């Protein structure tokens, strides 16, 4: 099995409560055998499981996108070996010093990693550099409980590696912004962690490849033919998106050749987004990896979104893949089969708070199976209900503006 994240924490994020971002992937509620067998959770051992779906729900500008970006950052730096400076978007969110702590499972062991990074000014640009990293390891036993999952007592842990104690000959080949953790892991495929962040505000075909008839008909049954058309001399050296085209045949229309850039004139935005996304989903399910999507519902109808979620909480998900997505739409929360897989993102005193719906409902005395997740979200208990005061302020403003125009 490839590495599975149990939890992550970043200390030193300005816009979060207590300057701390945390995400836990381990189940909070009881897990039934059927949930293990049908792909709703991934068993880590006899008592610990991780949720295969994580939803971030909140009103506009509550902090969902930044939460996704931070999770992706940890995955890319700690699992995928990317530079700590590879994502400039979140640099301004960070204090001058941050500490990333992760717990994950790999090769029948549990690892705790602590990575300390410092911001340094290089010219006009801030750059992150590792000050130190520590990797602790302990054996994953079949009966290890959730309570003891994160405990590393001296009798059971071993110090696997510490950055500042590495041999100088090794350090001279290690970049100051590269983590030492990836070198200790099983070889991870390059597409083990994927995201669709570049498509949140723009829609284009993200995965140029052959599309199976099952994918095409699922998205648009009026498409009779969609075949990738690539020049014979096409290779990596002369790659150009302008040279890619498609043979397209729609019902009751003549077959035509459509360029990559003109495809959106023939196909709906949902079909275009779906063609790329479903291929990425298949890859994630095959690898048992992680897929992060901001605003999953963009360009899709509710049924398609529910189908996408279902892929990750059904027996299709045999390899324990995880989808992590944000949404504005409370009704989508009723499609999730476990309440502890939902995170409520909100701002409290202008700081972002991320807590599981399961815990919030318990604290509010509303954690009952007869109350829908969407009703909890809209109840006003957690500050996630629409603001009717702001709506009526806007209503009066628009009415006054329209009446003023009429008077002119």
Each residue's pLDDT tens digit, 57-72: 998 889 999 999 999 9
Rounded Cα gap, residues 292 and 195, in angstroms: 5
Mean pLDDT of 370-375: 92
pTM above 0.85, yes or no: yes
Q: Are strands 49-51 and 158-162 parallel, antiparallel or unpaired?
A: unpaired
3-state secondary structure of 215: helix
Rounded Cα gap, residues 286 and 308, in angstroms: 15
Rounded Cα gap, residues 174 and 32, in angstroms: 45
3-state secondary structure of 238: coil
pLDDT reading at 39 higher than 90: yes
Each residue's pLDDT tens digit, 210-220: 788 999 999 99
The pLDDT, as a whole number, for residue 54 is: 98
Distances in Å between the Cα of 11 and the Cα atoms of 139, 225, 326 are 27, 51, 22
Cα 352–chain centre separation? 17
pLDDT reading at 15 higher than 70: yes
Each residue's pLDDT tens digit, 222-241: 999 998 887 776 666 666 77
The pLDDT, as a whole number, for residue 334 is: 95
* Radius of gyration of the chain from its Cα atoms, rounded to whole angstroms: 24
pLDDT reading at 208 higher than 80: no
Count of beta carbons in the 10 Å neighbourhood of residue 365: 8
Tell which wins on pLDDT, 270 or 386.
Answer: 270
Which is nearest to 345 in space by CA: 330, 331, 334? Answer: 330
pLDDT reading at 406 higher than 80: no
pLDDT reading at 259 higher than 80: yes
Tell which wins on pLDDT, 200 or 24.
Answer: 24
Question: Considering the chain, what is the average pLDDT of its residues?
Answer: 89
* Domains of the chain and any CATH numbers: 4-192+288-355 (3.40.50), 204-274 (no CATH)
Each residue's pLDDT tens digit, 151-187: 887 666 677 889 998 888 777 888 999 999 999 998 8
- Helix and strand numbers, DSSP H then E, in the chain: 9, 17
The pLDDT, as a whole number, for residue 200 is: 56
Distances in Å between the Cα of 71 and the Cα atoms of 75, 249, 291 are 6, 41, 11
Q: Where are the strands (E) in 221-363, listed by range?
A: 223-229, 245-250, 256-259, 290-293, 322-327, 342-348, 351-356
Which is nearest to 345 in space by CA: 23, 13, 5, 11? Answer: 23
pLDDT reading at 407 higher than 80: no
Longest dimension (CA), the chain: 82
Each residue's pLDDT tens digit, 94-152: 999 999 999 999 989 999 999 999 999 887 888 999 999 999 999 999 988 888 899 88
Q: Rounded to the nearest 5°, which phi and psi values hold at 147?
A: -60, -35
Which is nearest to 332 in space by CA: 341, 40, 204, 42? Answer: 341
């Amino acid at each position: 099995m490839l590495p599975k994240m149990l939890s992550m924490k970043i200390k030193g994020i300005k816009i979060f409560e207590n300057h701390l971002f945390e995400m836990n992937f381990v189940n909070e509620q009881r897990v039934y055998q059927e949930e293990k067998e049908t792909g709703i959770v991934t068993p880590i051992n006899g008592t610990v499981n991780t949720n295969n779906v994580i939803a971030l729900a909140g009103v506009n500008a509550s902090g969902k996108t930044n939460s996704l970006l931070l999770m992706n950052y940890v995955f890319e730096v700690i699992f995928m070996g990317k530079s700590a400076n590879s994502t400039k978007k979140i640099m301004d969110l960070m204090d001058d010093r941050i500490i990333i702590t992760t717990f994950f499972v790999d090769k029948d062991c549990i690892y705790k990693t602590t990575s300390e990074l410092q911001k340094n000014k290089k010219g006009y640009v801030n750059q992150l550099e590792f000050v130190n990293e520590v990797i602790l390891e302990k054996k994953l036993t079949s009966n290890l409980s959730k309570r003891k999952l994160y405990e590393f007592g001296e009798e059971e842990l071993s110090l696997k590696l510490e950055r500042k104690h590495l041999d100088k000959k090794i350090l001279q080949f290690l970049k100051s912004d590269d983590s030492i953790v990836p070198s200790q892991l099983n070889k991870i495929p390059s597409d083990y962690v994927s995201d669709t962040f570049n498509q949140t505000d723009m829609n284009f075909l993200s995965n140029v490849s052959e599309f199976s008839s099952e994918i095409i008909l699922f998205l648009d049954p009026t498409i009779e033919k969609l075949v990738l058309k690539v020049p014979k001399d096409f290779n990596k050296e002369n790659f150009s998106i302008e040279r890619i085209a498609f043979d397209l045949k729609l019902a009751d229309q003549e077959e035509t050749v459509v360029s990559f850039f003109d495809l959106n004139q023939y196909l709906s935005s949902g079909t275009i987004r779906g063609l790329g996304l479903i291929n990425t989903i298949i890859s994630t399910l095959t690898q048992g990896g992680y897929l992060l999507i901001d605003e999953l519902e963009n360009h899709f109808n509710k049924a398609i979104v529910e189908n996408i979620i279902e892929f990750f909480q059904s027996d299709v998900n045999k390899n324990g893949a995880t989808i992590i997505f944000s949404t504005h739409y409370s009704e989508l929360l009723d499609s999730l089969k476990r309440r502890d897989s939902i995170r409520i993102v909100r701002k409290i005193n202008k700081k972002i708070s991320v807590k599981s719906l399961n815990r919030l409902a318990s604290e509010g005395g509303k954690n009952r199976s007869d109350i829908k997740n969407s009703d909890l979200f809209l109840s006003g208990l957690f500050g996630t209900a629409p603001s009717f005061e702001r709506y009526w302020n806007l209503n009066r403003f628009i009415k006054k503006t329209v009446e003023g125009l009429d008077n002119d």
